Amino acid sequence: MEKFRLLRQHLDALGDSLEWHQPTPISLAALKQVHDADYIEALVKGQLDERAQRRSGFPWSEALVRRVRLETGGTLLGARLALTDGLALNAAGGTHHAHADFASGYCLINDLAVVAMELLRRGEVERLLIIDLDVHQGDGTARLLANEPRAFTFSMHAGRNFPARKASSDEDIALESATADDAYLAVLQQAIPRLIQSVRPGLVIYDAGADVHKADRLGHLALTDTGLRARDAAVIETVRGAGLPLLAVIGGGYDRDTPALVARHAMVFEEAVRARERTPYNEDHEPGA
């Protein structure tokens, strides 16, 4: 999708406010902790059948495999940078519809679940909270982490939208179609502080899907640019205010007006930069060690 390249270009305008890091592809071992080994082997070797490829939303290619492994490597690198520096973002990620043994809805591997399990397994974090605000339910993440009490999954989404058959996250909020800025933000501002307090995570992973926007063709919600920016700012401020490390991933966005879509995905980066300038994460901490 062209939006990724254009987002990178767009973000270059932020100059030195952003420090870029290049991930390495996620290991197959990390993928197999969450996904079925047979599925991962078929994906890597190009043995997914026609039907599986159709369901994924993409024709198979070696470049596609490299791309999704780099994307999940980016989420892992971002999580580690967040744990060190307090705040990091992946200019991709949020592939929350991928299941244990099949791809779905443009998601081949589930970066959120894979990274959560990798960090937990290695003891890099004891508990984490996934705040999924993409307009679609994080059904894959919910199922993949259902038996992992150290990873709390929260999804706030449009109730009448893909996937038709919803999973059970640790907490779900299904919004009415056409929910607009004020109502959306009111629900969010009630939920996030409560979740942080009850889960007490060592890391928050935020899926900042831009498909909640009123112009998104797969959305069904009615957020404006102002509402979307306020949403990103609210999550960042609340998590940082609680002194917690935060990794954001960009999630979905499907407006055919690519410049407008890219500007929406850029908001979470811009709000992160702003928050960082306003309130250093921890002044006693020397980042980059």
Residues making contact with Zn ion (CB under 5 A)? 134, 136, 209, 211, 252
For the bound state, the minimum distance from the C-beta of residue 276 to Zn ion, rounded and expressed in Å, comes to 26
> 172, 177, 146: which is closest to 160 by C-alpha?
177
Nearer Cβ to Zn ion (80/220) = 220
Per the document, the length of the chain is 289
Nearer Cβ to Zn ion (107/120) = 107
For the bound state, the minimum distance from the C-beta of residue 217 to Zn ion, rounded and expressed in Å, comes to 11
Confirm if 130 and 152 have CB atoms less than 8 A apart: yes
For the bound state, the minimum distance from the C-beta of residue 219 to Zn ion, rounded and expressed in Å, comes to 8
Nearer Cβ to Zn ion (35/157) = 157
For residue 179, give Cα distances in angstroms to 51, 161, 185, 259. Answer: 35, 13, 10, 24
> 51, 149, 132: which is closest to 96 by C-alpha?
132
For the bound state, the minimum distance from the C-beta of residue 132 to Zn ion, rounded and expressed in Å, comes to 9
Nearer Cβ to Zn ion (166/240) = 166
Kindly tell me the number of DSSP H helices and DSSP E strands found in the chain: 10, 6
> 247, 39, 50: which is closest to 144 by C-alpha?
39
Q: State the residue number with the nearest CB to Zn ion.
A: 252
Cα–Cα distance, 138 to 145 (Å, whole number): 11
The answer for residues whose C-beta is within 8 angstroms of residue 66's C-beta and 6 or more apart is 25
For the bound state, the minimum distance from the C-beta of residue 210 to Zn ion, rounded and expressed in Å, comes to 9
For the bound state, the minimum distance from the C-beta of residue 92 to Zn ion, rounded and expressed in Å, comes to 14
Nearer Cβ to Zn ion (120/210) = 210
Nearer Cβ to Zn ion (152/254) = 254
Residue 81 CB neighbour total at 10 angstroms: 20
